[in-house]
Amino acid sequence: MDHPIEFFSEDIDFSLENPEQISDWIADIIEQHEQELVSLTYIFCSDDYLHQINVEYLDHDTLTDIITFDNADIEGTIEGDIFISIDRVRDNAMTHGTSFNDELHRVLIHGVLHLLGFKDKTPEQEAAMRKLEDSSLSLRKF
């Protein structure tokens, strides 16, 4: 099924495995939350690239694995840009003792959950976000 989901890379050589299956999975999660997918762009990049975005747009001088920009103008729709540091995903996978693909899929859906309105600023919100990530990961068919 075609979805308005695109995957790009900036300043690194990275290609997503199974982009069609991942797009279907992401679209299914959005549909389960009764939201309409308008467009979603993932940009895979390096730590340096994402750090620059973090400083320039969010005034945060730290490394991060993901930055999500919500571009939706209409409530109930999903439209955004999600930047993911492949360097951070690799490091986090090693730190957490998980595979690169499992960590990447967690981060992919983490950004979508933010676009769906879920937050992770407090310990309670972070725990709820982790449960939603786990639930979403369990629905993968690839």
Nearest alpha carbon to residue 90 among 47, 141, 122, 27: 47
Residue 10 DSSP symbol: S
Query: Does 96 show up as a binding residue in the annotation?
Result: no
Angle of the 100-115 helix axis to the 19-32 helix axis, nearest 10: 40
**End-to-end Cα, the chain, rounded Å:** 15
Nearest alpha carbon to residue 115 among 57, 86, 74: 74
Nearest alpha carbon to residue 16 among 24, 25, 29, 7: 7
Query: Does 47 show up as a binding residue in the annotation?
Result: no
Pair 21, 142: CB distance under 8 Å: yes
Query: Does 114 show up as a binding residue in the annotation?
Result: yes
- Residues of the binding site for Zn(2+): 110, 114, 120
Could you list the residues known to form a binding site, using ranges: 110, 114, 120
